[in-house]
């Protein structure tokens, strides 16, 4: 991290944690968008393992495209 924070300063401390939170969220999002998840298919309803690439995957049972924007959580 190129920025310097004075952690004794409350405002800097808040800033530091906000940045940290953003980084962690970004990383988690990236990980989940390229992972294999066991989810119920929105089309056939079967519980399937879907390998996601950039948030996109395919149901191995019915072949429907699944994006992580869909509500299956």
**How far lies 45's CA from each of 24, 31, 59, in Å?**
32, 25, 10
By CB atoms closer than 10 A (0-12, 13-18, 19+), residue 41 is buried
Is 62 among the residues that bind Zn ion (CB under 5 A)? yes
Residue 9 or 67: the one with the smaller Cβ distance to Zn ion is 67
Q: Which of residues 1-60 bind Zn ion (CB under 5 A)?
A: 41, 43-44, 59
Among residues 15 and 58, whose Cβ is nearest to Zn ion? 58
Q: Which residues bind Zn ion (CB under 5 A)?
A: 41, 43-44, 59, 61-62
């Amino acid at each position: 991290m190129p920025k310097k924070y004075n952690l004794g300063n409350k405002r800097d401390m808040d800033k530091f944690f906000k940045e940290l939170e953003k980084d962690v969220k970004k990383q988690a999002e990236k990980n989940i968008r390229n992972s294999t998840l066991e989810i119920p298919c929105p089309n056939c309803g079967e519980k399937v393992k879907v390998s996601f690439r950039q948030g996109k995957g395919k149901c191995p049972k019915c072949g429907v495209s699944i994006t992580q924007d869909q509500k299956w959580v």
